[in-house]
Structure 1
Amino acid sequence: MDKQNLIECHERIKPFIHNTPVLTSKLIDAFLGAKVFFKCENFQKMGAFKMRGATNAIMQLSQTQRKNGVVTHSSGNFAQALSLAAQSLGVKAFIVMPNTAPQVKKDAVKGYGGIVTECAPNLAAREQTSKAIETREGATFIHPSNDDEVILGQGTACKELLELCPDLDFVCTPVGGGGLIAGTALAAHYFGNNCKVIGGEPLEVDDAYRSLQSGTIETNTSTNTIADGLKTQLGDRNFPIIQKHVDEIIRVTEEEIIAAMRLIWERLKVVCEPSSSVALAALIKDKEKFQGKHVGVIISGGNVDLGNLPF
């Protein structure tokens, strides 16, 4: 995936996405001793950066593939993103969701036109059900994070940020399935000026941190974190990009995630979900590293359950 791929991807999806705002806070700058620029993907269509990758992936399909629809398995933001992107492009979206997914998420997917099939809440059941739909409908499977076209789409958020703030020293993103940080790393490499990429990851699900240490894709035995969007693991498409272009992954505790989330709500006056605040939590955790620097933070989404806030 080269610079031209990223430029073409951005031009392709521009009519279907928002160029989201970048916010700053003098108080957060003073607290960190750095200039911080927050790219607010919580203001993206359907409330998260995943709209970018979903749109690009569908647009790259042939007419025949589009006619038969797309399928994915997701209980979160990608389910909504693929449904809305498909609806915008006149394509059917089959979404496999665990039967334990919150009703509000199932309703959101259906509201965007997604055709929901429920399954048992484990990866084997999700994959089996998706495969059955692929076979029956002829639908094309699109992975939420381990897909080249999805990775390119996610990278356009950082590309937009660097167009506005070309002299960033660092960009920090949360790490879950690896699509956002891999896309961000490509954008920083091609459009940044010696811009390093840092990942923030919950200590409770630190598979990406361990994967970089061991050189192979690691998994988690437990997923006990408030950052529910970051429970997935890296894939064979995004891991090599992360190995090559990501500088470091900083692990943060649940308390640090909640404190950072609260800071964003209080100081930026915006709604962000726990997964999004992991990036700021990482900056706070290792703030000596960022002293006097210009730092971009991607607030990945704002789809938070308001009835279940941690503060």
Structure 2
Amino acid sequence: MELISTADIDAAAPRVAELAVRTPLLPCPWARGRLWLKPENLQPVGAFKVRGAANALALLPEEARRAGVVTHSSGNHGQALAYAARAHGVRCVVVCPDNAPAVKVAAMRSFGAEVVPVPPAERARRAAAIAAERGMTPVPPFDHRDVIAGQGTVGAEILADLPDVDTVLVPVGGGGLAAGVATAVKARRPGAAVVGVEPELAADAAESLAKGRLVAWPTEQTQKTVADGVRVGPSALTFAHLRERLDGIVTVGEEEIVAAMGVLARAARVVAEPSGAITTAAYLAGRTPGGRTVAVVSGGNAAPDLLARAVAGEEGRTEGVGEAEGTDTGSGNGSL
């Protein structure tokens, strides 16, 4: 299976720049100067997904544009594809799980998408059926080379801003972001560790890497995590990238995820949804290699009630968090 290259990511950069924000690295003095955040929550759709959607839509042939595009998504990719489709004058249908956060469903509709709610286990099949019935082009959330290349621009920007980075922490769900970031970082700084982070309740990628083959967890299991953006597992394409280029995966618990949302809001003034907070959760738990670390905050489309609960929670550890670097302070270790 052919993997994407840094040339694919470099070629995607100008197409991505037409619709995505060039996010900065935010230093975190409360983490003893060892942590930076890559705040993809600042994107126009509140998540990194706009990068992959922008690249895929820009490369879509004219005939396919006229027919429109369809995808399945828990929300962030759906928003991103709808946003990019509107910019290119393309019709867009998003099949989403019927338990998707209302804030994400509303955003998809606000960008002009037709939203089709279905039971979580049915979304991929329903999207395929709509594509066949209407002649629309499927643009999946991660199982697509152009999407992965677009997401890889996150890694290229990290290296441009912090060339001597030691560790990059990236959320893993379907694996498109991790695949792209690992490609960009490992090609230009092989000594840096690119580490994926998953919830304990949806750690199918960690198990897959440990066993050397794809392992699919049942939907009824992965739906239990609060991190709705990473409830899906990798595809054969993204797993091939992760197996070749990722340095490992660590996992975090549900309370750790919500606590990290609170720390990010209070200490960094960053709004993160659960999926976007899992990298910081891993750092705070001391499960990462250490050194100069960048945590990718993949999105900020948090449900208001959950965000309020996280911010109002007990004060997170915002002083001396670097003391635990490279150590295991609790359960939930992955394959690192």
TM range (shorter): over 0.9
Give the Å deviation of 1:158: 1.4
Distance 1:212 1:288 in 2: 17
- Deviations along 1:155-201, one digit per CA (max 9) or x if unpaired, are 10111111111110111011111111111100102233522200111
**Aligned with 2:216: secondary structure?**
coil
Residue 183 in 1 paired to residue 180 in 2? Answer: yes
SS of 2:129's partner is helix
Unaligned runs of 5+ in 2: 311-336
- In the alignment, what sits opposite 2:297? 299
8 A contact 2:74–2:229 mirrored in 1 = no
| Other structure's SS at 2:143 match | coil
SS in 2 for 1:173: strand
In the TM superposition, 1:38-187 aligns within 5 A as: 38-119=37-118, 121-123=119-121, 125-187=122-184
Partner Cα separation in structure 1 for residue 167 and residue 102 of structure 2: 38
**Residue 285 of structure 1 corresponds to which residue in structure 2?**
285
Match of 1:308 among 300, 306, 309: 306
What amino acid does structure 1 have at the position aligned with 2:306? N
Match of 2:195 in 1: 198
**Structure 1: distance between partners of 2:209 and 2:60:** 32
**Aligned equivalent of 2:323:** none
For 2:169 and 2:199, how far apart are their aligned partners in 1?
A: 14
Deviation at 1:105, TM superposition (A): 2.6
Which one-letter code corresponds to 1:161 in the other structure?
Answer: I
TM-score, normalised via structure 1 length: 0.93
Give the corresponding residue for 2:7.
4
Moved more, 108-117 or 98-107: 98-107
TM (norm. structure 2) is 0.86
Specify whether residues 144 and 194 from structure 1 end up closer, same or farther in structure 2 by C-alpha distance, changes over 3 A only: same
Give the Å deviation of 1:146: 1.4
Figure out how many residues of one structure are paired with residues of the other and give that number.
303
The unaligned stretches of length 5 or more in structure 1 are none
Q: Describe how 1:210-229 pairs up with structure 2 within 5 A.
A: 210-221=207-218, 222-223=221-222, 224-229=224-229
Partners of 1:299 and 1:184 in 2: CA distance: 13
Q: How does 1:244-255 map to 2 (within 5 A)?
A: 244-255=244-255
* % identical equivalent positions: 37
Aligned residues of 2:98 and 2:120 also touching (Cα < 8 A) = no
Tell whether the 8 Å contact from 1:86 to 1:92 is kept in structure 2 after alignment: yes
Alpha-carbon distance, 1:287 to partner: 5.2
* Deviation (angstroms), 1:8: 0.5
Q: Following the alignment from structure 1 to structure 2, what is the Cα–Cα distance between the partners of residues 83 and 288?
A: 35
- Deviation per CA, 1:16-49, whole angstroms, max 9, x where unpaired? 1100122112112x2xxx6211111000110000
1:196-250 Cα deviation digits (max 9, x unpaired): 2001111111111100011111122312111111110010111011001111111
Q: Distance in 1 between matches of 2:101 and 2:253?
A: 25
Distance 1:251 1:10 in 2: 30
